[in-house]
Structures are given as C-alpha cells and as structure tokens.
Amino acid sequence: MTSKSPPKAAAQTSAAPTIHITASGRKGLKLYEHEIATYLRELPRLLAEGHAGHYVLIKGDEIVGIWNAQEDAIEAGRERFGLEPIFVKKVDPRDPERFALVFAQKDASCPS
C-alpha cells in the first residue's frame, strides 16, 4: 500500500479587485472627503453601540444623527441644511476595507 501525500494547496493570491471610478465618482469622493473621514473615524464606536444597518447623517466633523431609515436621515438633513450637500451612509462593518480599495484606486483613470 502506497501512501499518497495530500494534494498541494493551490497558491492563493489575494490581489485586490480593480475598481474603476468615474470622473463624477472622483468628484463625489472629493466633495465628501471630510465626511468620509469622519465616518471611518467614528465607525468603530457606531458598531460597538449597535448601529450596524442604521443610517448616519454627517456634516463635516459632526455626526448629526442616526436613523433606522435612509429617507428619515435625508429628510432631517434637508430640514437642517436645505440644499447644501449632506452625507448619509448606512453603517456597515465592511466599509474600512471597501473605502481602502476605493481610495487606493481613486486617482486611476477610468476607461472610456
């Protein structure tokens, strides 16, 4: 009886996916750069407080409030800030990795 060695595991390469960001997407990232930084800074606290899946309204360095529904967060933002740009984001524990990918590739050109 011959013993076979277990099959060798295929080499795993975890190359980051390529994300193509349009010109308007890059413009949005620039417009909300401050709010995104605030969100990522506050995300651990938001998750620890059980807000995953809720919607945060952020203006500058301030988390204005947290809502269960996106529509409510947008409505509150419009009532308080009128037509000024507001940042409403669903709290998601995957966001640090997602934003890291986006920011790593945000200056790459978008294919036409």
Q: Is the CB of residue 57 less than 8 Å from the CB of residue 77?
A: yes
> Token match 């669903």: residue?
90
> Token match 């930084």: residue?
37
**Every domain of the chain and the residues it spans:** 23-105
Q: Is the CB of residue 89 less than 8 Å from the CB of residue 67?
A: no
95 CB-contact burial (10 Å; exposed 0-12 / middle 13-18 / buried 19+): middle
Please report the pLDDT score of residue 21 as a whole number: 86
**Per residue in 83-110, pLDDT tens?**
999 999 999 999 999 999 888 887 655 5
**Element spanning 63, H or E:** strand 62-67
Instruction: Band the pLDDT of 18: cuts 50, 70, 90.
Output: confident
